Structure 1
Amino acid sequence: MAPTFKFAAMSRRAAITAAALMATAAIAGCSQKSGGAAEGDMALGAAAGAKVTVVEYASVTCSHCAAWNKEVWPEFKAKYVDNNKVRFVFREFPTPPQDIAAAGFMLARCAGDDKYFDVVHAIMESQQEWMNGVPPRQSLNRIAQGAGLSQAQIETCLNDKEGVAALEKRIRAGIDAGVTGTPAFYVNDQKVVDSSLAGLSAAVDAALAK
Structure 2
Amino acid sequence: MTSSTIHRLRDGFRFTRSSGFGLVSACGLGLLVLSGCTGQEAADETAAQTVEPASTTSSQPTGNATSEPSVDLPQMQGEVDVAVLMAAQALPDVVIGKAEAPITIIEYASMTCDHCAAFHVNTYPTLKRDWIDTGKAKLILREFPFDPRATAAFMLARCAPNDNRQAMIDVLFQKGEDWAHADDASVKLLSISKLAGFTEESFKACLSDKELQAKIVKVKERGESVMGVNSTPTFFVNGKKYIGALKPEQISALLDSLS
Which bracket does the TM-score occupy, shorter chain normalised? 0.7 to 0.9
Q: CA RMSD in A?
A: 3.1
Q: Which runs of 4+ in 1 moved over 3 A?
A: 1-5, 22-26, 30-35, 130-134
Q: TM-score, normalised by structure 1?
A: 0.81
Match of 1:42 in 2: 94
Matched, 1:136 2:200: no
What do the CA deviations read for 1:96-152 (whole angstroms, capped 9, x no partner)? xx1110100001100146411111121122222248956222221111111111111
Offset at 1:192? 2.5
Matched, 1:178 2:228: yes
Contact conserved, 1:61 with 1:127, CA < 8 A, in 2?
A: yes
Q: Look up the equivalent residue of 2:118 and give its one-letter code.
A: A
Q: Look up the equivalent residue of 1:164 and give its one-letter code.
A: Q
Offset at 1:74? 0.6
Matched, 1:150 2:202: no
Give the alignment of 1:1-210 within 5 angstroms.
6-9=27-30, 12-13=31-32, 16=33, 18-19=34-35, 33=81, 35-39=85-89, 40=91, 41-47=93-99, 49-95=100-146, 98-112=147-161, 114-130=163-179, 135-176=184-225, 177-193=227-243, 195-208=246-259
Q: Look up the equivalent residue of 1:55 and give its one-letter code.
A: I
Larger relative helix fraction = 1
Q: Percent identity?
A: 30
Unaligned runs of 5+ in 2: 1-14, 45-77
Contact conserved, 2:112 with 2:149, CA < 8 A, in 1?
A: yes
Which of the pair has more CA radius of gyration? 2
Q: TM-score, normalised by structure 2?
A: 0.66
Count of residues in Structure 1 that have an aligned counterpart in Structure 2: 197
Unaligned runs of 5+ in 1: none
